[in-house]
Structure 1
Amino acid sequence: MTWPGKIVYVQLVVLFVLSTTIYVYLYSSITMQTFAIGEVMKGTINDIIKWRNEMGDWAQKSTKFVINTSFPDNMQNVDKPILERSISELYNNNESGKKLQINILPQRTLQKIGERSKCIECTPKVLLTLFTSWPTKAEKYTCHNNTLRNWAQLKPHIQPVLFTQETLLAEEATEKGWAVLPVRKAGRGVPILKYMYKDAMERYNSTFYAFSNGDILYSQSLIETLQTVLKSSQIPKGKPMMIIGRRTNVPDVTSAEAVSGDKVQKTAKVRGKIFTVWAEDYFITSANYPWKDIPEVVIGRRAYDNWLVSNARKQKHVTIDATDTLVALHQTTKAGNQEGFKADNPEYNHNLLRRMYRHLHYAAGLTSCADYYTRYRDNKRIQILKRTAPKVCSPF
């Protein structure tokens, strides 16, 4: 009776020893593997830190530049380039004769977009930084070429800026005295307005900043009107300001009619027709205008213009209708006077604003709703007067 008991006891001892041996083996193996993995991870982290430092040094030494040939929807994490060599210089050095691909790498770190960098204080202050953007279209070559020449003639009071990703267009603008900046952020391939303002305000030092449609020509009346606004005692000081106005439509403007500001003024008077109070083609704002708070509307599509003016009035900013003293000649081509309604995604801005706001009353943003307006006195001097807005301008 005792022999079977001893067998069971021996079996249990053997099983215990075997289990202990397996446990010790597995524990040792896992411990060694963990230690090895830890050492590998330490080496990897050290390599990453080393590569990061080497890449930072390489980027700072780099002198290459970048201009993409399309408008990506999101470039907000890309460092802002500084174009210190002209695009035309780089283009002329292209020995292959092929379409030039210019690569942009950040040369130095600027402050966050929307804040004024130190370098802006080193640049001469101008009256207005005037910027625009357009895609290359054969049927609008004469129109856009007229704009390039016309805006360049407004210097030194006005600094013209073109936002584009197209290398050849950037080169042409540079040759005509314009500054060129890349499009930082777009919606459905179209530049977003607020980022154009923020980038222009960071890069250039001026009293006013303005987006204008690329088919608008100006005369000396633009400079004279802005100078009057600055001197006016009628307008509250220190408040954000927006100046808008109606355009004058002129069909098939020739190069001869756009050769100078005087010609533009005469052409608008002789052949032009003032357009509706619903259309606003330029937005001149003061340097303290809060563009950071504006929704991400895009240019060239309907609804954003009236909303901008309505919002400015709602926020108690100063709004001025400069129609009677500021000539804005619209070069009407075959596309007509309602291009924003015919473009791709014409409802882009309206749909965006409708998702953000419960009620939209676009009529509150007509040019005739502005708090002030400009006009000529009998002696041809410009004056600014307070306006009583019509009933259609309320509520916001």
Structure 2
Amino acid sequence: MTLLTLFTTPKPFTDPHIARIQRNALRSWQALGTEVEILLIGDEVGMAEVARELGIRHISEVARNAYGTPLIPALFEQARRNSTSPLLAYINADIILTPSFVEGAQLVSQKMPRFLMVGQRWDLDVQEDLLFGLGWEAELRQRVQERGRRHPPRGSDYFIFPRDCFRNLPPLAVGRAGWDNWMIYYARRQGWPVVDASSFIFIVHQNHDYRHLPGGQPHYRLPETDENVRLGGGRRTIFNLIDATHVLTMDGLRRAPLSWLKFWREVEIFPLIYLRSRALGWLAFALFHPRKAYYEAYAWLATVTRPWRKRAPKNG
């Protein structure tokens, strides 16, 4: 039995650059060896052919929303049904993994029965097919050191968790903003440790544009992002890596350092996480971020009163 099942739903393989970087990513996953198995889920153009080409298992059926975007609960359930690994990992299909990914999963799973592992990535321009022979990781690290850039800690491109976690999820859309942040929130709300493995797990995101999305717009500007936020419980559930409870470093697994920023963030989210009150969570947010709260409240009020203003009779 493998330790870890990696699953993803790639973009269509129609754009030459997208096709190249997704193949690069999948080959890097295969280079991790027998500890992992890989599942491609969905029926996007070219996916079945690439799965056959690389010898990767392909599952075509997945539930989608009205826009045709695969849904997170359907992806997670397909991964559970079609694997026996004790650990599952959803990964974005343009991410190059290194052996530290498996090593980190092993270390944390030996110490915690339930958890969520997340982490930052490095961004790198890749325009060619990569080779994963002897010494490939050292070459990649050198290239990233010279030309790469650390991505801000706003979300995560991978999620490692025991197979029994994250059941009965809301119908969040994959590849749209909000769902990755919600995963961190949900784990904290369940009382599971959230492990920031940024200092241990080395992953690389291959840069690309947004031509594959409607209108070429970034995912965070699409209507599905607003729907993700709504389904997840609103903007207060947008958690980031600062909300991790633990960190995994080369020195081992330990509690996240308690800086002033971390301390006050924990105070802010206490009503939402431990008291499970959205109302108190919003009040805490307003206390810590009065300017942002004012503009959010103003925008909400404008949305609520818009239908009434349209119906109101004009004077004269």
Calculate the TM-score normalised by the size of structure 1: 0.60
Q: Give 1:168 shift.
A: 4.1
Are 2:264 and 1:391 aligned? yes
- Rg comparison, structure with higher value: 1
Alignment CA distance shift 1:313-1:344 (3 Å): closer
Which among 195, 205, 210 is matched to residue 320 of structure 1?
A: 195
Q: Distance in 1 between matches of 2:121 and 2:147?
A: 13
| Counterpart secondary structure, 1:183 | coil
The answer (yes or no) to whether the contact 1:183–1:191 under 8 Å persists in 2 is no
Counterpart of 2:162 in structure 1 is 286
Q: Distance in 1 between matches of 2:119 and 2:37?
A: 20
| Counterpart secondary structure, 1:283 | strand
The within-5 A match list for 1:259-338 is: 260-292=136-168, 294-335=169-210
Alignment CA distance shift 1:320-1:360 (3 Å): same
Q: Distance in 2 between matches of 1:285 and 1:276?
A: 22
Counterpart of 1:62 in structure 2 is none
The answer (yes or no) to whether the contact 1:160–1:178 under 8 Å persists in 2 is yes
Q: Give 1:350 shift.
A: 2.9
Which among 221, 226, 229 is matched to residue 350 of structure 1?
A: 226
Are 2:59 and 1:181 aligned? yes
Q: Distance in 1 between matches of 2:220 and 2:229?
A: 17
Amino acid at match of 2:61: V
The answer (yes or no) to whether the contact 1:246–1:280 under 8 Å persists in 2 is yes
Q: Distance in 1 between matches of 2:222 and 2:205?
A: 20
Query: What is the RMSD of the two structures over their aligned residues, measured on CA atoms?
Result: 2.6
Counterpart of 1:157 in structure 2 is 35
Q: Give 1:308 shift.
A: 1.3
| Counterpart secondary structure, 1:289 | coil
The within-5 A match list for 1:1-396 is: 125-133=1-9, 134-138=11-15, 139-166=17-44, 168-187=46-65, 188-232=67-111, 235=112, 238=113, 240-256=114-130, 260-292=136-168, 294-335=169-210, 342-343=218-219, 346-354=222-230, 357=233, 359-363=234-238, 365-377=239-251, 383-387=252-256, 388=258, 389-393=262-266, 394-395=268-269, 396=272
Alignment CA distance shift 1:279-1:175 (3 Å): same
Q: Distance in 2 between matches of 1:344 and 1:162?
A: 24
**Matched residue count:** 258
The answer (yes or no) to whether the contact 1:164–1:183 under 8 Å persists in 2 is yes
Alignment CA distance shift 1:356-1:250 (3 Å): closer
Identity over aligned pairs, percent? 21
Q: Distance in 2 between matches of 1:167 and 1:173?
A: 12
Amino acid at match of 1:217: I
CA offsets per residue over residues 103-152 of structure 1, 9 Å max, x none? xxxxxxxxxxxxxxxxxxxxxx2111111112223231221121221111
CA offsets per residue over residues 293-341 of structure 1, 9 Å max, x none? x1110111011111110121012112110100101100012449x9996
Q: Distance in 1 between matches of 2:83 and 2:181?
A: 27
Amino acid at match of 1:209: L
The answer (yes or no) to whether the contact 2:172–2:231 under 8 Å persists in 1 is no
| Counterpart secondary structure, 1:291 | coil
Structure 2 residue ranges without an equivalent (≥5): 273-316
The answer (yes or no) to whether the contact 2:38–2:56 under 8 Å persists in 1 is yes
Alignment CA distance shift 1:266-1:197 (3 Å): farther
Alignment CA distance shift 1:289-1:245 (3 Å): same
Q: Distance in 2 between matches of 1:390 and 1:291?
A: 30
CA offsets per residue over residues 156-205 of structure 1, 9 Å max, x none? 11111111214742132233131111132011211111111111111111
| Counterpart secondary structure, 2:3 | strand
CA offsets per residue over residues 11-49 of structure 1, 9 Å max, x none? xxxxxxxxxxxxxxxxxxxxxxxxxxxxxxxxxxxxxxx
Is the deviation greater in 307-316 or in 321-330? 307-316
| Counterpart secondary structure, 1:191 | coil
Alignment CA distance shift 1:230-1:193 (3 Å): same
